[in-house]
């Protein structure tokens, strides 16, 4: 019995640490994910823009790119001066906006620093599109859920949307991710935790539609340093 116990102990110690699954809820991407809410007139809320959460608020998903910067979908921006992050009691003032023309926006906000950021996950100089079949994951606050929920899927290819109004580019990247209202702005990560894109569309109740990231080095540097 003693020899068996020693053998089992040796086997457990010999397993490479990289083979052990890491709990997604403890990942840096999860820690950087947030629900954002705007106070807007109820008649202006639509599923295509913000999920109607409660008390005249509309919700989207976002990720902290820097200590005072939130990356999300531009169509979530309803032009308000303040937004609320997660369950904070006081809203944060939006003091700046940075866009890339591809339905992506960075809100520069006041308030306390975000403890975890995804800054190291996105570098415009090394940004690359996914390959077909590449596994991806996200943390989304769909339907104003909190905390954000982990989901995964695969990149399936591109499609053209000629009447898409969120981007000048008709090429939409498709992922077999189940997306619901409020997931807009969720960061989609690929191999090695690299940032692939952000959620824009829910397509057919099964697929997610997204656009390429197009921020410049100067824009990202501004957001990370703010």
215 in helix, strand or coil? coil
82, 92 Cβ separation under 8 angstroms: yes
* Residue 5, C-beta contacts closer than 8 angstroms, at least 6 positions apart: none
pLDDT tens for the chain, 226 residues long, are 444 333 322 222 233 333 333 556 678 888 899 999 887 655 555 545 566 565 656 788 999 999 999 999 998 998 889 999 998 989 999 999 999 999 999 999 999 999 999 877 888 988 888 899 999 999 988 777 778 888 899 999 988 776 656 666 778 899 998 888 888 999 999 988 889 999 998 877 678 999 999 999 999 999 998 8
Q: CB-based contacts of 115: which residues, under 8 Å, 6+ apart?
A: 31
- Relative to beta strand 135-140, strand 187-189 is antiparallel
Residues of the chain with CATH 2.40.10.10: 27-118+219-225, 120-211
- Topology of the domain comprising 120-211: Thrombin, subunit H (2.40.10)
- For the domain made up of 27-118+219-225, the CATH class stated in words is mainly beta
Alpha-carbon span 116 to 86, nearest angstrom: 14
Q: Whole-model pTM? A: 0.82
Cα–Cα distance for residue pair 197/131, rounded to 1 Å: 13
């Amino acid at each position: 019995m003693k020899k068996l116990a020693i053998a089992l102990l040796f086997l457990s110690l010999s397993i490479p640490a990289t083979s052990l699954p890491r709990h997604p809820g403890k990942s840096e991407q999860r820690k950087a994910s947030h629900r954002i809410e705007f106070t807007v007139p109820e008649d202006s809320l639509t599923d295509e823009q913000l999920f109607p959460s409660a008390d005249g608020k509309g919700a989207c998903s976002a990720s902290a790119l820097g200590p005072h910067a939130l990356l999300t979908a531009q169509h979530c921006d309803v032009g308000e001066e303040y937004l609320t992050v997660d369950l904070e009691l006081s809203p944060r003032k939006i003091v700046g906006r940075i866009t890339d023309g591809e339905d992506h926006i960075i809100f520069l906000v006041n308030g306390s620093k975000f403890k975890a950021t995804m800054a190291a996950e996105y570098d415009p100089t090394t940004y690359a599109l996914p390959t077909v079949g590449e596994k991806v994951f996200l943390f989304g606050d769909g339907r104003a859920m909190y905390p954000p929920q982990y989901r995964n899927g695969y990149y399936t290819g591109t499609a053209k949307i000629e009447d898409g109004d969120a981007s000048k580019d008709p090429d939409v990247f498709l992922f077999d991710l189940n997306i619901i209202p409020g997931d807009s702005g969720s960061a989609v990560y690929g191999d090695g935790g690299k940032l692939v894109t952000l959620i824009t569309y829910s397509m057919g109740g099964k697929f997610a539609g997204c656009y390429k990231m197009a921020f410049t080095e100067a824009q990202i540097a501004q957001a990370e340093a703010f």
